[in-house]
C-alpha cells in the first residue's frame, strides 16, 4: 500500500456501499492490521480494541454486504463514543487513500458469538473492501459533498481551512450534528441535542469523526494540537447544543 495523505483524502472520500466480495489478500490485511495499531485516540485513558471481522461475524446484512468489517470495542467512559469515532475515521481515510472502499455501519452489529470475544462494549462497525468500480470510490470536487455551509456549522470567521475539512466529515444519516465556536487558537465543538438515545449515541460518534478531520487539517497546517476540556465553553453552549471537547490549535 502506498503511503498516505489523509488530509487530501478528506476532500474526495465517500461512503462505498457496493463491494467486490472477494476477500482482500493476506498482505493487504496484514498492512491494515498494522495501521490499525497506530491510530491516535482523543483520550489515551480509554481502552479500545479493534477487530477485523468477515461477513459471517456480522448480523442482518440485507443491503450492505462487504468482505470485511472493522468492529470497535471500548471501555464505557466519559467521551468513549467520540473517541471511537475519532479513531475509526483514521481508518476510513486510510482505506480511501489506498483505493479501498469503506462505509460506517450503525444499523447492525456483530453476532453474539463475536461480541463475546471482547470484554469491552461494542461501539460501531466500518465495512471495507474492494469497490466494484474504482471510479465510484472518489468525489471529484467538494461540490459533490452534500453538506451544510460553513455559516451553518460555525460562527468562527477566520478558520475556514480547519472548518471546511470538519464540515466534510461523514455522519450517520448525514445529520452533521456539529457546531464550532471559538477562534484565535481554540475551537470548541458542540453537538445538537438529540431526541432519542440511539441518535445521541450516533451523534457522539459523528462528533469524533468531525474532530478527526479538524485534527488532521490542523496538523497539515503545521499547528500543535491538543484536546482539552474548557469549562467556560462547556457552560456556554449555543442554544440546542451540548459541549463535547475543545481543540487547542497553536
Residues engaged in binding ligand FMN (CB under 6 A): 14-15, 17, 64, 103-107, 124, 145, 170-174, 202, 205-206, 209
Smallest distance from the beta carbon of 177 to ligand FMN, in angstroms? Answer: 10
Least gap, CB of 217 to ligand FMN (angstroms) = 16
- Select 21 or 107, whichever has its Cβ closest to ligand FMN: 107
CB closer to ligand FMN, 186 vs 204: 204
Question: Is-contact 64 75, C-beta < 8 A?
Answer: no
Residue 225 and residue 32: Cα distance in Å, rounded?
26
We find the least distance from the C-beta atom of residue 166 to ligand FMN, in angstroms, to be 13
CA-to-CA distance for 151 and 165, rounded, in angstroms? 14
C-beta closer to ligand FMN: residue 186 or 210: 210
Which of 186, 194, 207 has its CA nearest to residue 249? Answer: 186
Grid coordinates given for 28: 493487504
Partnered with residue 87 across adjacent β-strands are none
Compare residues 79 and 182 and give the one whose CB is closer to ligand FMN.
79
Residues in CB range of 45: below 8 A, 6 or more apart: 77
Taking alpha carbons only, the member of 220, 210, 214, 199 closest to residue 169 is: 210
C-alpha cell at position 157? 470567521
Q: What is the nearest approach in angstroms of ligand FMN to the Cβ of residue 24? A: 20
Residue with Cβ nearer ligand FMN (81 or 247):
81
C-alpha cell at 45: 485513558
Helix (H) or strand (E) holding 212: helix 197-220
* Residues 124/102, Cβ–Cβ less than 8 Å: no
Least distance (Å) between residue 172 CB and ligand FMN: 4
Taking the least distance from each CB to ligand FMN, the nearer of 177 and 182 is: 177
CB-based closest residue to ligand FMN:
170
In whole angstroms, how close is the CB of 23 to ligand FMN at the nearest point?
21
Amino acid at each position: 500500500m502506498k503511503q498516505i495523505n489523509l488530509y487530501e483524502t478528506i476532500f474526495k472520500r465517500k461512503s462505498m456501499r457496493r463491494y467486490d466480495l472477494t476477500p482482500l489478500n493476506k498482505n493487504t490485511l496484514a498492512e491494515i492490521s498494522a495501521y490499525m495499531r497506530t491510530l491516535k485516540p482523543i483520550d489515551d485513558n480509554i481502552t479500545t480494541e479493534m477487530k477485523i471481522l468477515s461477513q459471517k461475524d456480522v448480523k442482518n446484512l440485507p443491503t450492505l454486504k462487504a468482505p470485511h468489517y472493522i468492529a470497535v470495542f471500548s471501555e464505557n467512559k466519559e467521551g468513549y463514543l467520540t473517541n471511537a469515532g475519532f479513531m475509526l475515521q483514521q481508518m476510513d481515510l486510510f482505506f480511501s487513500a489506498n483505493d479501498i472502499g469503506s462505509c460506517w455501519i450503525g444499523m447492525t452489529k456483530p453476532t453474539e458469538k463475536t461480541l463475546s470475544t471482547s470484554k469491552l462494549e461494542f461501539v460501531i462497525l466500518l465495512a471495507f473492501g474492494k469497490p466494484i468500480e474504482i471510479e465510484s470510490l472518489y468525489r471529484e470536487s467538494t461540490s459533490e459533498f452534500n453538506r451544510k455551509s460553513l455559516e451553518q456549522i460555525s460562527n468562527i470567521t477566520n478558520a475556514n481551512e480547519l472548518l471546511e475539512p470538519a464540515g466534510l466529515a461523514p455522519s450517520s444519516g448525514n445529520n452533521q450534528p456539529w457546531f464550532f465556536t471559538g477562534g484565535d487558537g481554540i475551537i470548541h465543538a458542540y453537538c445538537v441535542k438529540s431526541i432519542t438515545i440511539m441518535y445521541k449515541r450516533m451523534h457522539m460518534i459523528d462528533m469524533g469523526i468531525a474532530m478527526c478531520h479538524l485534527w488532521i487539517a490542523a496538523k497539515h497546517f503545521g499547528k500543535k494540537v491538543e484536546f482539552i476540556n474548557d469549562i467556560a465553553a462547556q457552560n456556554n453552549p449555543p442554544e440546542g447544543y451540548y459541549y463535547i471537547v475543545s481543540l487547542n490549535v497553536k
